[in-house]
Amino acid sequence: MNSESPSKTRIITGLSGGVDSSVTALLLKQQGYDVSCVFMKNWEEDDPNQQCTAEGDAKDAMAVCDLLKIDLDAINFAKTYWNNVFDHFLTEYRQGRTPNPDILCNKEVKFKAFLNYALKQGADYIATGHYARIGNNNGEFQLLKADDQNKDQTYFLYTLGQKQLAHTLFPLGDLTKPEVRQLATDAGLPNHAKKDSTGICFIGERHFKQFLSRYLPAQPGEMQTPDGECIGSHDGLMYYTIGQRQGLGIGGRQGGQAEPWFVLEKDLKRNVLIVGQGHDHPLLFHSSLTASDLHWISGRTPELPFCCRAKTRYRQQEQPCEIVALNNGQCVVHFDQPQRAITPGQSVVFYDETACLGGGIIERAFN
């Protein structure tokens, strides 16, 4: 934060209509900053039900700004989202991988297109409702985990760099979700009880298989055990992810084990989905992975080999690992213990205590 008085510090908050971004604006306003808000429209609706949801979010954002007496602008980043996020999303699914659009959305839309817009408008900072913190270590900005470990979102923010962190504020970083809800209630925010969004970034909560089928033709195929026994059919490899249990449509088999079935692997060449029984099936566990599109928040690649902790999915606890090789823009990561359901297309994110160091896209898992 610059040394000028709050009233001379201009902050543009990305307002989604949800409670987190609304409390972000509320806190900054209460602290005396020159606050305005932007509602980002990044998807051209083609679903009447979803259109109603988007309109509802916009109305909630307007109601919050009216209450707080804050200016609100609506900006359309739909073309940027399609070209830089959704097109990549489709390409990944076409290749049988499982991408994380929220990470790319943060990189290309919220902390690039929106940030550039805000700086051109003369803002000193942008602010969002992410649960994360920003530190400064001898002039170098750090992305730090939120105090609320259950809500920490640094996994989705590992693509940020020094420029982004220098012009960003995360006012919710030292708050818990219940505290945020209470602040919204105490301030009389009209959306204080609104449930959290769990859908795809800016696309919303949709029937995923139905939505994806609009853009990619499904290619049904066989569902097989690791031994090659056909036990059913799948609707298209793009609809499944490693470790998935729900939606396989495999009932109990006569004389078979009672354990549930899980996706173990995707055989793209044969268009076969490999499945097996048991949450801890051996084929779900791998000790190593390769990752590409590496990004380091400091802007510097650490000297390898490098020991730290990492996680390969959002809700996972960070695990000890060693990054041992780097070539052709890729790295190899060896974990101290085998990890379950490492998924190509998802991200591996590196940590040192509370600091998020960066990460990359998982290419393959192996032992």
Find the helix or strand (DSSP H, E) in which 275 lies.
strand 272-277
Mean pLDDT (whole number) for 314-334: 93
Closest to 277 in 3D by CA, of 237, 239, 241, 231: 231
| Residues with active-site annotation | 105, 201
Scan for tokens 């109601």, then name that residue: 63
Burial of 366 (0-12, 13-18, 19+ CB in 10 A): exposed
Query: Where are the alpha helices (H) located in the chain, listed in sequence order?
Result: 19-30, 48-68, 78-81, 87-94, 101-105, 114-120, 162-166, 177-186, 208-213
pLDDT at 326: 81
* pLDDT tens column, 173-212: 999 999 999 999 999 999 998 988 765 665 555 567 788 8
pLDDT at 206: 58
CA–CA dist 291, 348 (Å, integer) = 7
**Residue 290 reports pLDDT greater than 70:** yes
Cα-based distances in Å from 226 to 81, 170, 179, 259, 304: 39, 46, 48, 16, 36
Other beta carbons within 10 Å of 57: 20
Q: Is 90 helix (H, G, I), strand (E, B) or coil?
A: helix
- The DSSP bridge partners found for residue 321 are 308, 335
User: What is the full DSSP assignment across 325-366?
Assistant: EEETTEEEEEEEEEEE---TTSEEEEEETTEEEEEEEEEEEE
Find the helix or strand (DSSP H, E) in which 135 lies.
strand 132-137
Token digits for 118?
């805000």
pLDDT at 41: 86
Longest C-alpha distance within the chain, in Å? 74
Mean pLDDT (whole number) for 267-278: 96
Mean pLDDT (whole number) for 323-331: 89
**Residue 140 reports pLDDT greater than 70:** yes
Q: What separation, in Å, do the N-terminal and C-terminal C-alpha atoms of the chain show?
A: 46
Find the helix or strand (DSSP H, E) in which 267 lies.
strand 261-267
Is the bond leading into 305 cis (omega within 30 degrees of zero)? yes
* pLDDT tens column, 29-80: 999 999 999 999 877 765 555 545 778 899 999 999 999 999 999 999 999 9
**Residue 254 reports pLDDT greater than 70:** no
Q: Catalogue all structural domains in the chain, each as residue range(s) with its CATH number.
A: 6-208 (3.40.50.620), 218-276 (2.30.30.280), 283-366 (2.40.30.10)
Closest to 54 in 3D by CA, of 200, 202, 189, 196: 202
Which has more confidence, 2 or 110? 110
